[in-house]
Every structure is written in C-alpha cells, then in structure tokens.
Structure 1
Amino acid sequence: MAGGRRWEAMELDCLVNIFQRLGIEDLTLGVPFVCKSWYRASLDPICWKVLDFQALDFMPWSNFSKRFMRRYSPQHFSFSGFMKFAINRSHGGVVELRFPLLIGASLKDLVHASNLCPRLKIAVLPRIMLEDEEHIPELVGKWKDLERLEMESKPSSFSEIATQINLNCKSFTGLRMFGSIKKEDVLAITKSLPKIKYLCLSRSYLCKKELLAIVDGCRELEKLIVNDCIGFEADEEVLKRASAITTFEHEGSKLYDDLGYDTDECDIHHVRVI
C-alpha cells in the first residue's frame, strides 16, 4: 500500500526473530530469494539453531532435492552435503538436531555433527550400522549441554552411552529409545541416569520386573511413557508403584504379543520400524 511499511524495510533483528521460527525448507528455498534484506537475515546463525531434517525428503528425485539443485547448482545433492551446509550456517550454534528417519545417516555424519555442534541440547539419532554403534558413546560424550537424547533403536553400546552421559552431560533429563530392554539396560538407566525426568520406551519388550526397577530406581521421573510394550500389564501393583510419577502412559501394553511370546526370545517381533 502507498505510504505503508515494506517488509524488506523491517529491522534485521525483527526479521531474524521471525525467520528463526521457520523450518529448514523455508530458510533454504524460500526466504533467501525474496529480497536482499531477507537473504541477509536468513544467514543469521540464530535462524539455524534448530535443525529438524525429519520433515524433508532427501531422495534425489524428491521435490525438495530438485528445487535445491535448481537454486544452488551444486555438483551433486546428498543429505551429508546438505547437513554440512546447514551446520555451517549455524556457526556451531545448533541446539537441536534431528536426523532424518527414512534415509538415516552415516557414522561420518554423526562425527561431523558431534565435532561442530558442541552446544547441542536435543539430539535425535538415526539408525546406524551395527558395527558403528560402538562409536556412539564417544560422540554423545562431547555434547556437554545435552538435555535429551532420542534414538530410533536401542544400540548395543547403550550402557556405555549412559556412562558417558553421566560423566559429561550434567543437564541431562530425557531419553527415548525402543528395543528389548533387558536387566543390563535398566541398570544403566538407574545407575547412570538416576535423575532422569522423562523416559519413553514405547514399542519395546519390557517385562514387569524391569519396569518396576526403573520406577523404583529413578525417583525424579516426571513422565514415563511405555505405550504398546510387550512383557507387562499395568496391574494394580504397577499402578501403585508408579503413582508418584506425574504422567505414566501405558496404553496398549500387554504381557504377550500376538504370537503368544512373553520373553525377549522374540526380540525380532518387538523391534519395529517407525
């Protein structure tokens, strides 16, 4: 409108305040190509503190990949390259990093993120190759400010991960993973993460004995989510022992699965792909 204020004339800090609420796709393919002032604002590291790659399709034939190729003309497009592009724009200020679920990520991607995102508070890790799981504890231990860790499956190195969190991540309060939760896993949680406030083990094999050990050993739990688990039913004893937990979700959990198993012999039936 004649005489009205123009968007491109808005103060830079105001634009940054708005753009930091946008997703990566808008920051990459939309905002920078509107005008020069929007482009400058989109480069502010504050806009890149939260990197959620889960909503994007990194397949070469996807609309996002094709649009990125047209806009930036790289020699080739890959998740690894795009992740480095986004982390570089953050100037090391990433506080939340969510890896994509479908294509996963390589060990090199995790190492790169661990080295260049020292201020990370929330990490959502993808599935990685079994032979690479032994490296996760060292990588997680570098995130001194880590508050919450989510993993798409329980890695074989979980006990070592919990130890590293206990030693290095003094603000840690939340964990999500699923798989076959065994005695050694429960011991790792209660011994290394006794002050945890949020724990989600939904879609896991979790027997009543181990569930109660978690309830008794993690006295500061405020939210425990064990929906759709196999190995226990929320009977009177379970509900009574968990009554001090503010939020205790157990919908869909049952003692046996559809094949009649009630032990972790059937791990393959309980570790499900999201």
Structure 2
Amino acid sequence: MDQYPIPLPKSPVRDWSQLPLDPLSSIFMKLGAIEILMSAGLVCRSWLAAARTPELWRFVDMTRHKLVFLKNVGTMCAMAKVAIDRSGGRMESFWAQQFVTSELLDYIASRANSLKSIRLIACLYISDTSLVRVAEKCPLLEEIECSYHARPAEFYGYVGNVRPQLKRLRIHVEKGYDSDEIEREMEEERRQQLGSDEEDEDEETEEESFEAWEARKNKDAFAIAESLHELRLLQMAGNSLTNKGLYAILDGCPHLECLDISSCSNLPLDNKLRARCARLKHVWLPGQLNRVRCPDLHVIREHEGEDYSNI
C-alpha cells in the first residue's frame, strides 16, 4: 500500500487589520509622510485610523521621494494639507521639495503654531511675503531653508524683524551660480517688457566701481549680519559674498557654530580670515577637499530622489 506524507497543518492567516493601534503607529513612524498618505493609510479602516494619529505628523518630510517629481503641484499641496490637518497643530518640522506654493505657506502659517523648522528645497512658487508670514505666525520657529532659489537681500531683514531668534538659516544655491548673469537676465526681461530690447549703441555704460561691486555682492551677507544675530548655523554655499561680507557675518553673528561657504567664488580667504573661521565648530570653505563630516550641514540636493530609471 502506498503511503502518502501527512500534510502539514495550515498556518493561520494573520489579519494585519487587527493590529493594536500602538504597535501600528510605531510601524508608521518608520515610514515617510508620502508613504503613509499614498499607501499605508489606505489599506483598511484601522490603518487609516492609525494614520490619523497626530503624533505621526510632528515631523513631516516630503523630500527625496520620486512622487515629488511625478505628481503635479496641486496634488502634492493637497497631500501636504492633509498632513498639516492631521497634526492637530503639533507639527514641528515641515520639509518639502519643488511643489510648495505661497498658498500652502499661508495654510501652514494659520495652522502650525508649533512649527520649529521649515525647509524648502528648490520651491519656485513661493513669495517672500508668504515665507515671512510663516516666520511671523510661528513663534517657535528656529530654522528656515529656502535653497536653490535666490531671494532678495531685503528678505533676510524682514525675517530678522519678525523672528530675530532664528537659529539656523540655509540659503545655498547651485554650484556655479552667477549672480551677475541672473541680474543681466532680469534687466533684459525688464527692457523687453518696456519695449526697449534694442540696445542703443551710442549709449555709454558707466563702469561700476569696485566699492559698488563689493556692496552689491555682499547684500545678503550684510543683511544677515545686521538682522540675525542669534544664528548658530548658516549655509550659503554658492553665494556671491566677498571677504568683507564674511567678516560682517562673523562679527554680526557671534554665536555661529556651523558655516557652509563652499562654492563661493569671491572668497580669496587670507590667513586672518581663515583663523577666524577656524574658531567655529564646523566650517566648509571654498575649495576645501577634506571636509569634516557634520550631519547638521547635510545638504538635500535639488533633484535628490528623482527616479531616472525610465529615462
């Protein structure tokens, strides 16, 4: 008689929807905001309930994810608003890349009184007024980033007026940023709008003095030095400041600990200035090859997270 192996008993099917709220929330903590909004929170009712726990939304990071580059601005802003609403006013950090608009900043300003950090990576649809309003309406704010999009020097004065206790400012731009070229493009656009795009060959252009050139290059540095005396961290890689502007920052921001001035092409540092910089805990200088690792100076790149596999 043939003998057949006795089949093993079937393992009971685990019902993941019945997980208690506390361990489920702990699992969700390890996911990013976009994963919760687009996948985990949509599995079932119990998971949706867990996804609405305000504690999950204290730190909202919507950077370095492929969907940032695939979804349209309206969809991403709608997702961000859901995250803000779910925080119940407890959101402490909001980091976003590419999609943020002035309207979304106004939404944050009206609903995030606990905000301590806002980092905006290559967000081109925001106005200075809206970002200053966030600084004004969020009394606990300590960190602002608006990188890869140059802002006028007056912006730093406005921020200093409403939030003088700001601790961290990140305003780095793309390596190779040419402020003169940007100004020329803006002037050309203005001329075209006025209908005077043809150059007058007879018109003589007055040569700019070195003093005027230096003052123009240091507008950002002077505004920061005059307005933000409590800074501990300053990232302004690629800025146009000169040695004079750097001296102003070191004098005007006496509590500064971390400084990133890499890729700043107008900084021929002398020994005296290098000695001043050496007093800081962490400093990244132009042309420096061996940088001391500093997590606080970690840069989120403009296109970091974009999926190039289908290109």
Q: Is the 8 A contact 2:265 2:286 kept in 1?
A: no
Q: Is the 8 A contact 1:21 1:47 kept in 2?
A: no
**Distance in 1 separating the partners of 2:262 and 2:235:** 9
Residue deviations 1:184-238 (CA, integer Å, cap 9, x gap): 4334323332121111001111101111221222221111111111110333222
User: Which residue does 1:197 correspond to in 2?
Assistant: 232
User: Which residue does 1:260 correspond to in 2?
Assistant: none
Q: TM-score, normalised by structure 2?
A: 0.66
Secondary structure in structure 2 of the residue aligned to 1:124: strand
Q: TM-score, normalised by structure 1?
A: 0.74
Relative distance call for 1:139 and 1:77 in structure 2 (3 A) is: closer
Relative distance call for 1:4 and 1:127 in structure 2 (3 A) is: closer
User: Which residue does 2:212 correspond to in 1?
Assistant: none
Q: What amino acid is aligned across from residue 151 of structure 2 in structure 1?
A: P
Higher relative contact order (CA 8 A, sep 6+): 2
Q: What amino acid is aligned across from residue 48 of structure 1 in structure 2?
A: W
- 1:154-173 paired onto structure 2 within 5 Å: 154-156=150-152, 157-166=155-164, 170=165, 172-173=166-167
Secondary structure in structure 2 of the residue aligned to 1:194: coil
Report the alpha carbon displacement of residue 2 of structure 1 after superposing the two structures with TM.
5.1
Relative distance call for 1:10 and 1:23 in structure 2 (3 A) is: same
Secondary structure in structure 2 of the residue aligned to 1:78: helix
Secondary structure in structure 2 of the residue aligned to 1:195: coil
Gaps of 5+ in 2: 1-9, 174-178, 180-215, 289-301, 304-311
Q: Is the 8 A contact 1:19 1:47 kept in 2?
A: yes
Report the alpha carbon displacement of residue 114 of structure 1 after superposing the two structures with TM.
1.2
**Distance in 1 separating the partners of 2:130 and 2:35:** 33
Residue deviations 1:82-126 (CA, integer Å, cap 9, x gap): 22222222222221112322xx33221111111111211110235
Q: Is the 8 A contact 2:258 2:281 kept in 1?
A: yes
User: Which residue does 1:217 correspond to in 2?
Assistant: 252
User: Which residue does 2:4 correspond to in 1?
Assistant: none
Report the alpha carbon displacement of residue 240 of structure 1 after superposing the two structures with TM.
0.6
Q: What amino acid is aligned across from residue 50 of structure 1 in structure 2?
A: F
Q: 1:89 aligns with which of 62, 86, 89?
A: 86
> Identity over aligned residues, as a percent?
24
Q: What amino acid is aligned across from residue 158 of structure 1 in structure 2?
A: Y
Q: Does 1:51 align with 2:48?
A: no
- 1:68-217 paired onto structure 2 within 5 Å: 78-101=75-98, 104-125=99-120, 127-128=123-124, 132-152=127-147, 153-156=149-152, 157-166=155-164, 170=165, 172-178=166-172, 182-217=217-252
Secondary structure in structure 2 of the residue aligned to 1:99: strand
User: Which residue does 2:292 correspond to in 1?
Assistant: none
Count of paired positions: 236
Q: What amino acid is aligned across from residue 245 of structure 1 in structure 2?
A: L
